[in-house]
Amino acid sequence: MGGNISTLPAKSIQTSLREAQRIAEISSHDELRRQLLLVSSDHQRSATLPSACYADPALFRYDVETLFRQSWVGVGRADRWKSSGDFGTRNIGGVPVLFVRDQGGELRAFANSCRHRGSLLLDGEGNCKKIRCPFHCWTYDLAGRLVFAPRMEKVPDFDPAAHGLTEFRIGLRDGFAFVNLGTAAGGLDSWLGDFSSLHAPWGLTQWATARTREFEVRCNWKSYLEVFNEYYHLPYVHPASINRRYMQPDDADDVCGNFTTQFGATDGNAALLADAQKQALPGAGTLTGRERNGVRYTWVYPNMTFAASPDSLWMYEAYPLAPDRCCIVQTVCFPAETFSLNDFEARTRHYYDRIDAAIAEDIPFLERQQAGLSAFTRQGRFSPLEPSVAKFAHWYAGHLRMHLG
């Protein structure tokens, strides 16, 4: 019987293979839709996201092309680029993006691609007076205008004004910066909803960045953000480092906007290890009541999360590189008034020690989780200590269902 197939025309074989692939894809989508319907708004009854959401290449493309290229994406604190010419680069959904503070003090975002033949313009972080392509020396000012293009004056109908850098929408809220590469999402105010009013007690606009670092982790970008927003793993992953600082948290807040947030009281300062509690900085003067003795964990969809304590803020941006790999940007901030303390540098090192110790404990477990995913991984259920993770899962599942149609 095996010989019969080889007698079919090559065109017929190709048609049959395409049809079989189409049927398999339809079947796969039907199963994924069924699984996504199990992810509900009630976190006590909701299933977790299907494992395909963390491992499937097709869903990775969805994350990149839809969430990261069509949503408002958090890119950290705006004061990372303080002065005219300060710049930084990111890969956002496979798109190289350049952030630069222009001569008038405005933060701008451009495609990090020369308008000549697409070369990367700048790398990493730094300061520049102009943006010059290293390949053919096309040069742009800090507002993205083409100001020099060697020997192009003889090219017929060449208009430098029509060849400025491609600019993206950027927005600032409470000291955070957001960029939108597409046109599908509305304005930033609509995206964030009541984010600003809920975080008003911390006065975050007046906080300043003290340290930023970048690293890669061998896990899906969603997994990294999830572990930061749940208390469930604390006694098992952080038994000796930070677990004892955290008390039973509040449930996640009901919010308007594309984010989730949860407040929890702490026993002592959760931003410091046990042997460094005496190094605590003064808390923000804007805080009153129980907010002076706890931490608010917030996840702004899709990719930015932070913890606001009374005296420090530590945050992460997650950028997808592959289904099982992401780039993480870590930022640590403090109330601006504490920077003038004589022993500020010495005391903040203890905050960095705590943050680095916790993430060093998280990463091996995140990578083990990624390694355990397969086609045989079944959906689980959320514990009462994972409401923010469940809220993100419901948000993500809803968007993905709309995408699948």
Q: Which of 113, 148, 183 is where one domain is finished?
A: 183
Q: Cα 318–167–175 angle (5° rounding)?
A: 50
Residue 381 DSSP one-character state: B
- My answer on whether 384 and 305 are in the same domain is yes
220: burial class by Cβ within 10 Å (0-12, 13-18, 19+)?
buried
- My answer on whether 81 and 103 are in the same domain is yes
- The answer to whether residues 119 and 86 touch, using CB atoms and an 8 Å cutoff, is no
C-alpha span between 84 and 97 (Å, rounded) = 18
- My answer on whether 64 and 79 are in the same domain is no
- My answer on whether 234 and 354 are in the same domain is yes
Q: Residues 6 or more apart from 154 whose CB is under 8 A from it?
A: none
pLDDT, position 2 = 41
- The answer to whether residues 47 and 381 touch, using CB atoms and an 8 Å cutoff, is yes
Of 77, 171, 71, give the one whose Cα is nearest residue 395: 71
Q: Cα 185–187–193 angle (5° rounding)?
A: 100
pLDDT (tens place) for every residue of the chain, 405 residues total:
344 334 445 555 555 555 545 444 545 789 999 999 999 999 999 999 999 999 999 999 999 999 999 999 999 999 999 999 999 999 999 999 999 999 999 999 999 999 999 999 999 999 999 999 999 999 999 999 999 999 999 999 999 999 999 999 999 999 999 999 998 778 999 999 999 999 999 999 999 999 999 999 999 999 999 999 999 999 999 999 999 999 999 999 999 999 999 999 999 999 999 999 999 999 999 999 999 999 999 999 999 999 999 999 999 999 999 999 999 999 999 999 999 999 999 999 999 999 999 999 999 999 999 999 998 999 999 999 999 999 999 999 999 999 998
* pTM, full prediction: 0.91
- The answer to whether residues 207 and 311 touch, using CB atoms and an 8 Å cutoff, is no
Helix 387-404 × helix 10-37 angle, to 10°: 140
- Could you list the residue range(s) of the whole structural domain that residue 302 is in? 44-70+193-405
- Containing 31, the helix (H) or strand (E) segment is helix 10-37
Look at residue 403 and tell me if it is in a domain: yes
- My answer on whether 222 and 268 are in the same domain is yes
How many structural domains does the chain have?
A: 2
